Structure 1
């Protein structure tokens, strides 16, 4: 897991604990990275089954 992926995982996990899904602006502000890099890192996390989006509940699964 890269540093960016680890950081995104922790941000999503911590915000999800308080029933809030982070927006792209939240992730850009908290990581200091651009949208393309964030999307690529999240896709990598999802392909390795470390993150999963629940479409019905509209929340992340870990």
Structure 2
């Protein structure tokens, strides 16, 4: 896991604990990265089964 992926995982995890899904703008502000870089890192986390999006509950699941 890269530093950015680890940082995104922690941000998403911590915000999800309080039932708030972070927006792309919040992730951009907190990481200092652009949208395409963030999307690529989140896709990598999903591909490696670190994260999973539950479409019914509209929330993240963590492995």
TM class by shorter-chain length? Answer: over 0.9
1:8-37 C-alpha deviation (Å, 9 max, x unpaired):
000000000000000000000000000000
Moved over 6 A (4+): none
Please, which runs of 5 or more residues in structure 2 have no aligned partner? none
Indicate the RMSD between aligned Cα atoms, in angstroms. Answer: 0.2
- Structure-1-length-normalised TM-score: 0.99
Distance 1:30 1:46 in 2: 20
- What is the match of residue 14 of structure 1? 14
> How many residue pairs were aligned?
62
- Structure-2-length-normalised TM-score: 0.98
